[in-house]
Each structure stands twice: as C-alpha cells, then as structure tokens.
Amino acid sequence: MSQMTTIARPYAKAAFDFAVETNQLAQWAEMLNFASEVAKNDTMQDVLDSGFAADKLTEIFVSVCGEQLDEFGQNLLKVMAENGRLKALPDVCDEFMLMKHEHEHTIEATVISAIALDDNQLDAISVKLEQRLARKVMLTCSVDETLIAGVVIRAGDLVIDNSVRGKLNRLSDTLQS
C-alpha cells in the first residue's frame, strides 16, 4: 500500500459517506474525476509544488475547476489544501471509485483483444465475468495486435490471459525451467 493511498483513504471515505447520505454518488464521482485530472496536469503540479498558501491554492484550483465542483466539492478541496494534500486527489478519486463500485456491486473490466470484438462476443464475456465475480461488469475494450490472437481480461486483481502471446510466454518459461 502506497503512502498516498493511506493519505487519500480518509478523504475518499468522507466524500463517499457524504455522497451516499445525499444520494449523489454519480455527481461526486464526476467531480472527483474532474478534480483528479486537474491535479494530474503538469502546470497544476507546478502550482501545487510552488509553496502557495492553502487559501491561494484553493482559489486557483476552484477557478480552474469552475462549475464542475459544487460547494461541497470546493469544501473538500479547501480542507485538502489546508492539510497540504491536494497532490493526493488522483488517489482520493481512485479510492472513491473503489468504494462506489463496491457499494453498487459493480466492477470495471478491461478486455484487450487482438482484433475488435463484436457485440455478441462482448456480451458473452460480460455474462461469464458476472457469473464468476458475482457483480455487474462494465467492460472497457481495446485492441492490441501484438497479442496475435485471443484476449486478455483484467478485472480488479483477476487477470485472464488467453492470448497466443501469453501462451507462448508461458511455454517459453516452462521450457527454460
């Protein structure tokens, strides 16, 4: 567990609890995602490293985010700035999203295939993953021709490598040992 994750978890938990209490999970996810992307920006990283006072950092951050943040989102940024934790925003967003997916019994799965998959194939993958993980699955798909054939599926800690490249790598490892 990284130090940033440890720092981010209480902020994410507070935001998550408030979002659940006010029935605004989707809105908070959008706000945190936007603020996270702003925090990742190189120019904003320079501002965060500049040593500005917390009030000035909050003012700059809120002005960049504009109407993407409601008053409660702005308050979260203010508290994080006062504690020197604005750099942890991407981790706060990640932790929040984990809590959101757990709450909604969903999981994001990445499907990387050698060729573009059709809707029937994606539906079949989705159904099998939902059965295996006992959660609703949201698929994100991409194509990587270096796989030669087959697919690689990542869902949380689960990795299913059913690609030809993966099989060749495993065969090579077996032959070398």
Per-residue confidence (pLDDT) for residue 81, from 0 to 100? 87
pLDDT at 24: 92
3-state secondary structure at position 151: strand
Contact 43, 126 (CB under 8 A): no
Mean pLDDT of the chain: 88
The structure tokens 């040992």 sit at 177
pLDDT value, residue 2: 64
Q: What is the pLDDT of residues 115-174, one digit of tens each?
A: 899 999 999 999 999 999 888 998 999 998 888 888 999 988 889 998 888 888 888 888
- 3-state secondary structure (DSSP) of residue 57: helix
Q: What would the pLDDT profile of 27-40 be if each residue is shown by its tens digit? A: 999 999 999 998 89
- Residue for token pair 């059709």: 118
Average pLDDT value for residue range 14-27: 92
Which pLDDT tens digit goes with each residue over 44-88?
888 888 877 878 888 888 888 878 888 898 899 889 888 888 888
**Helix, strand, coil fractions of the chain, as percent rounded to 5:** 70, 15, 15
pLDDT given for residue 1 in this prediction: 46
